[in-house]
Amino acid sequence: MGKKENDKSNDKRKKIILELMEQEFYVPMKEKELAVMLQVSKEDRDELNRIMNELLAEGKVSLTKKGKFIRAKRSEDNLVGTFISHPKGFGFVEIEGREEDLYIPEGFINGAFHKDTVRVALLSGKGGKRQEAQVVEIVARGMKQIVGIFDKSNKNFGFVVADNTKISKDIFVPTERSKGAVTGHKVVCEITDYGKENRKPEGKIVEILGHVNDPGVDIMSIVRGYELPVEFSEKVLHQAENVAKDVSEADMAGRTDLRNVQMVTIDGEDAKDLDDAVSLTKEGEYYKLGVHIADVTNYVQENSALDWEAKTRGTSVYLVDRVIPMLPHTLSNGICSLNAGVERLALSCLMTLDSKGEVVGHDIVESVIRVDRRMSYTSVKKILEDKDENEIREYEELVPMFEMMKELAALLREKRRKRGSIDFDFPETKIILDKGGHPIDIKPYDRNVATKIIEDFMLIANETVAQHFYWMELPFVYRTHDNPDSEKVEKLATFIRNFGYTLKSKQDEVHPKELQKLLAKIEDTPEEALISRLTLRSMKQAKYTVDCSGHFGLACQYYCHFTSPIRRYPDLQIHRIIKEQLRGRMNEKRIGHYQEILPEVAKHSSEMERRADEAERETDKLKKVEYMEERIGNIYEGVISSITAWGVYVELENTIEGMVHVSMLPGDYFYYDEQSYEMVGQATDKRYKLGERIKVRVNATDKIARTIDFVIPEEWELEEEQEG
């Protein structure tokens, strides 16, 4: 298993290990013994460790009490999943393919730690709505490190209090393993012993991120907490430098030359990785739309160090103060960025569309392009909506194309609307930070005519490519979105009846068109944001799959991600497949290769996307709390966004959400009415309803829990505010 085998897939390595364990002569072995038997060199031991952990996580091997590896028993009761702990002592186990998590009561956790892969046995005769289970075996430890605040409570030892509130136990750290950390330091702590029921876990400090109040430490704590890879290895950076050469005549040979086609990139002002360009002309009644995507695979060869790194990362991560790229900047901001005025290699999806926005013909080609201008969303909006004379003069030769783009995008949007595509028009949050990383403004980041044009063009290119390869019956990675659970749809239908709306469904299934009609009806009503959000929550998560099972939200049968290979690994992967097919190399051997590797690529990419989304949400929440920390006492108007038994959640115009605790509601004792989804006063019958506009005062914030507490201001406070 040395360097010569680096180009073999993980699956082949796993197969060798599993076959060994099935031999009669095999006796349970520790990892070091396996390494000797498999002749693994010392420098490849980390790779073996990673593979063994993956086999444990997949439930294919298990550990004896003495830490030796054996082949896992095959049984229908072999339920393996991820343990999610709760601060109050109980937990849940998520099992892939099982709709509902299993509930693990406090006495049945059996030493499991948050994120461990565990084997469970169902408990019979236990009450409650949710199926209960007990942990019978810890298959693999999920968290090797935690991020938290160090508390030097004694000269001989200290404790790390985890940032993750799900980890209720502090980690004991002897002074000699504390790396000199002092109270208040944010640290990365490696867990050396997971503890027992009556004994705390132990660990050692491996990195001091800085003091809890130092600039940037808060975000870096989230980065480390989600184990997001930040730095690239020397090998990866060196490879990126080597391949990032200017486009040569040899590179362009055999490609469709589109350098004379008028085209632009349209992105945000601060975007540096420009991976898509668009062109549009008209011939009679027909539009000729070109979506041109950077040919990243030309520089990232399969099984190279760059490819392994991109596959591991899965996606670029966009945090509030930084981008953690999937590929080094040498590529993403350099040769793979479609900068204006220079020759670039691309994959182009060239579509012919009729006056109804239907694609009546298409071609997918390897191309060489030269972008005319680098446009921003703001500039295009000024031209098309504001009719700004200076902007129109500056881009005079492009204005007719922009007008045509607006026209075609409207046709595409109308076509999607007719088939039932659901458009959630939520304002994204734009958080403005100063140089020290402190939030100075938070506002909704609205879509405009230019962002919609690009969105519409990327959607149609993704659909066209997916449909093309579906009918070729080749291995591929699709972007799929399953139909929502009938139970969640029923709950949504019950809820919206309170507002006088109805939802039609057949055999417990709802068509996306029904949800689209609902969103159209609630437009510009006080309850719009609320019902939109609840509708979104009733849906499943989109994911990457090798089966083309359709995209519910877009109401289409064929969909993939083709348009962002710089920042998403599935796009990069399908570019490879497209190019092999175009070059006539998709023989049986290559088809077999892709059939073998794609299921894992799709699964891992979906997991990395979820991790990135969670990290992004956490950094946004953190900065929103920090922003409100300096505004305690301020009064704002907001909308009641949700109501629970413990309080009323209120969302402000700038998208910040906080809670008025039930005990802080004035003038009465309140309870939550599950039938009407209202908070009701017992004596006064005063009601707080979803979608209702109310004034709140910022009362407190908690940066660790990332929560904001509101209270309802007194009359005199409101009067003072008006006078002020």
Q: How far apart are CA 112 and CA 610, in angstroms?
A: 23
Location of structure tokens 């039609």: 504
- Is the same domain home to 11 and 122? no
Three-state DSSP string of 290-313: EEEEECHHHCCCCCCHHHHHHHHH
pLDDT in tens, 248-279: 999 999 999 999 999 999 998 888 789 999 99
Strands 185-193 and 323-324: unpaired
Contact by Cβ (8 Å): 289, 303: no
Closest CA to 307 of 7, 544, 594, 2: 7
- Give 51's pLDDT tier (boundaries 50, 70, 90): confident
More confident call, 380 vs 13: 380
DSSP string, 453-522: HHHHHHHHHHHHHHHHHHHHT----EEEBPPPPHHHHHHHHHHHHTTT-----BTTB--HHHHHHHHHHT
Is 226 part of a structural domain of the chain? no
Is 224 part of a structural domain of the chain? no
- Is the same domain home to 298 and 377? yes
Is 129 part of a structural domain of the chain? yes
Location of structure tokens 């009669």: 24
pLDDT score at 13: 83
Q: How far apart are CA 660 and CA 710, in angstroms?
A: 5
pLDDT score at 76: 43
- The two structure tokens encoding residue 645: 């038994």
Residue 679 sits in a domain whose CATH number is 2.40.50.140
pLDDT in tens, 314-350: 999 999 988 999 999 999 888 999 999 999 999 999 9
pLDDT score at 168: 81
Q: How many C-beta atoms surround the C-beta of residue 326 within 10 A?
A: 29
Average pLDDT over residues 205-213: 93
- Is the same domain home to 89 and 174? no
Q: Decide: residue 484, CB within 10 A, 0-12 exposed, 13-18 middle, 19+ buried.
A: buried
Q: Which of 101, 125, 140 is the last residue of a domain?
A: 140
Average pLDDT over residues 372-394: 95
Q: Which of 617, 647, 672 is the last residue of a domain?
A: 617
Counting other chains too, the contacts that 297-302 makes at CB distance below 8 Å and 24 or more residues apart are 297/565, 297/572, 297/575, 297/576, 297/579, 298/251, 298/345, 299/240, 299/243, 299/244, 299/331, 299/335, 299/336, 300/243, 300/327, 300/331, 300/572, 302/576
- Is the same domain home to 490 and 399? no
Q: How far apart are CA 554 and CA 515, in angstroms?
A: 11
Q: How far apart are CA 32 and CA 51, in angstroms?
A: 13
- Is the same domain home to 408 and 423? yes
566 pLDDT higher than 90: yes
- Give 128's pLDDT tier (boundaries 50, 70, 90): low
- State whether the Cα torsion 699-700-701-704 is positive or negative: negative
Q: How far apart are CA 69 and CA 48, in angstroms?
A: 13
With H, G, I as helix, E, B as strand and everything else as coil, classify residue 563.
coil
Q: Decide: residue 317, CB within 10 A, 0-12 exposed, 13-18 middle, 19+ buried.
A: buried
Is 303 part of a structural domain of the chain? yes
> What are φ and ψ of residue 334, in 5° steps?
-115, -110
Is 623 part of a structural domain of the chain? no
pLDDT score at 279: 98
Select the highest-mean-pLDDT range: 48-62, 113-127, 691-705. Answer: 691-705
- Give 77's pLDDT tier (boundaries 50, 70, 90): low
CB proximity list for 123: less than 8 A, separation 6 or greater: 105, 108, 132, 133, 134
Residue 177 sits in a domain whose CATH number is 2.40.50.700
DSSP state of 142: S
Strands 373-376 and 264-267: parallel
Location of structure tokens 């876990």: 201
CB proximity list for 592: less than 8 A, separation 6 or greater: none
Residue 173 lies in domain: 145-214
- Is the same domain home to 519 and 396? no
- Is the same domain home to 466 and 423? yes
Strands 256-257 and 359-370: parallel
- Give 3's pLDDT tier (boundaries 50, 70, 90): very low
Contact by Cβ (8 Å): 122, 162: no
Q: Mean pLDDT across the chain, nearest whole number?
A: 89
Q: How far apart are CA 561 and CA 126, in angstroms?
A: 45
Is 337 part of a structural domain of the chain? yes
Beta-ladder partners of 267: 376
DSSP string, 96-117: TT-SSPEEE-GGG-TT--TT-E
Tally of domains in the chain: 6
More confident call, 216 vs 412: 412
Is 223 part of a structural domain of the chain? no
- Is the same domain home to 262 and 411? yes
123 pLDDT higher than 80: no
Angstrom distances, CA of residue 441 to CA of 427, 437, 617, 655: 15, 12, 17, 12
Q: Which of 590, 617, 644 is the last residue of a domain?
A: 617
- The pTM score is 0.81
687 pLDDT higher than 60: yes
Closest CA to 90 of 81, 103, 99: 103
- Give 362's pLDDT tier (boundaries 50, 70, 90): very high
Location of structure tokens 């098309």: 384
Average pLDDT over residues 193-220: 89
- Is the same domain home to 554 and 444? yes
Contact by Cβ (8 Å): 147, 221: yes
pLDDT score at 7: 45
- Give 508's pLDDT tier (boundaries 50, 70, 90): low
Q: How many C-beta atoms surround the C-beta of residue 152 within 10 A?
A: 17
Q: Which amino acid is at 147?
A: V
Give the range among 72-76, 105-109, 510-514, 705-709 with minimum mean pLDDT.
Answer: 72-76
Contact by Cβ (8 Å): 63, 31: no
- Is the same domain home to 210 and 252? no
Beta-ladder partners of 157: 174
Contact by Cβ (8 Å): 402, 410: no
Closest CA to 79 of 17, 13, 131: 131
Average pLDDT over residues 492-503: 81
pLDDT score at 415: 94
Q: Which amino acid is at 194?
A: Y
1 pLDDT higher than 50: no
Closest CA to 535 of 513, 515, 505, 511: 515
- Is the same domain home to 533 and 593? no
Closest CA to 640 of 723, 718, 531: 531
Q: How far apart are CA 138 and CA 191, in angstroms?
A: 16
pLDDT score at 507: 61
Angstrom distances, CA of residue 68 to CA of 20, 46, 137, 144: 14, 17, 14, 19
pLDDT score at 308: 97
2 pLDDT higher than 50: no
pLDDT in tens, 581-595: 999 999 999 999 999
CA 220 to chain centre: 18
More confident call, 484 vs 157: 157
More confident call, 41 vs 379: 379
Is 202 part of a structural domain of the chain? yes
**Which parts of 375-440 fold into alpha helices (H)?**
377-384, 389-394, 399-419
> What are φ and ψ of residue 153, in 5° steps?
-85, -10
pLDDT score at 506: 72
Q: Hey, what's the torsion of the CAs at 534, 536, 538, 541, to 10 degrees?
A: -150
4 pLDDT higher than 50: no
Give percent of the chain above pLDDT 90: 58
pLDDT in tens, 398-441: 999 999 999 999 999 999 989 988 876 666 788 999 988 899 99
Largest CA distance in the chain: 87
Q: At what angle do helices 10-21 and 588-629 cross, to 10 degrees?
A: 100
- Is the same domain home to 490 and 478? no
